[in-house]
Amino acid sequence: MGLFNVREDVAAARRRDPAARSAFEVWLLYSGLHAVWWHRLAHALWGRRMRLLARVLAQMARILTGVEIHPGARIGRRLFIDHGMGVVIGETAEIGDDVTMYHGVTLGGTALDAVKRHPTIGDRVLIGAAATLLGPISIGADSAVGAGAVVLRSAPPRSIVTGVPAVARPRDSADHEPVWII
């Protein structure tokens, strides 16, 4: 796959956003996608111990896109950040494949020590607008986090997580499609 798989990212955005009219439009205008591409470059530099340059690139990306992703964060394939303004992803966050998140999402830390202090997000998770996930928690695969939720505890796979503070409940076993909470 290499550092970038632009076609895969654009195709994923088109599948998840009914407002996307063309691949060219997505490639040109989707700031959440641009933020992910900048992050991949910054993350590669971070892994090569070029930490200052990685942080400079991450800050440039934040200025240009409104999305702040620490270069140490580990992000899987086909992350789609829709209307990404205000998204913050911390240094020790881990995000699986095919995750969708909306504007204002925070994957934040709760510790001041250099330890795992940010959330781990499983594959195919949807995170609604303005959701805040704090600490070294895990959100299991195929889950949905509701808009505005404040998540302080881990959730098992196939959960719906809503509320302040958020509570996880199992998804209906009859569900086959992802739950889209905007």
pLDDT 10s digits, 110-160: 988 889 999 999 999 999 999 999 999 999 999 999 999 999 999 999 999
Mean pLDDT of 32-56: 97
The proportion of the chain whose per-residue pLDDT surpasses 70, expressed as a percent, equals 93
- pLDDT higher than threshold 70 for residue 70: yes
pLDDT at position 114: 87
pLDDT at position 2: 54
Q: Which CATH architecture has domain 6-170?
A: 3 Solenoid (2.160)
* Entry pTM: 0.90
In terms of Cβ atoms closer than 10 Å to its own Cβ (0-12, 13-18, 19+), residue 180 is exposed
pLDDT band at residue 74 using 50, 70 and 90 as cut-offs: very high
**DSSP 8-state secondary structure symbol assigned to residue 89:** E
pLDDT at position 172: 75
pLDDT at position 173: 59
- pLDDT higher than threshold 70 for residue 180: no
| SS3 assignment, position 86 | coil
**Residue showing tokens 């889950």:** 143
- pLDDT higher than threshold 90 for residue 71: yes
Kindly list the domain boundaries of the chain, sorted by start residue.
6-170
pLDDT at position 8: 95
Strands 106-108 and 80-81: unpaired
Mean pLDDT of 61-67: 97
**Per residue in 80-117, pLDDT tens?**
999 989 999 999 999 999 999 999 999 999 988 889 99
pLDDT band at residue 1 using 50, 70 and 90 as cut-offs: very low
pLDDT at position 111: 87
- pLDDT higher than threshold 90 for residue 76: yes
| Residue 30: half-sphere exposure toward Cβ, Cα within 13 Å | 27
Answer for the pair 83, 103: CB distance below 8 angstroms, yes or no: yes
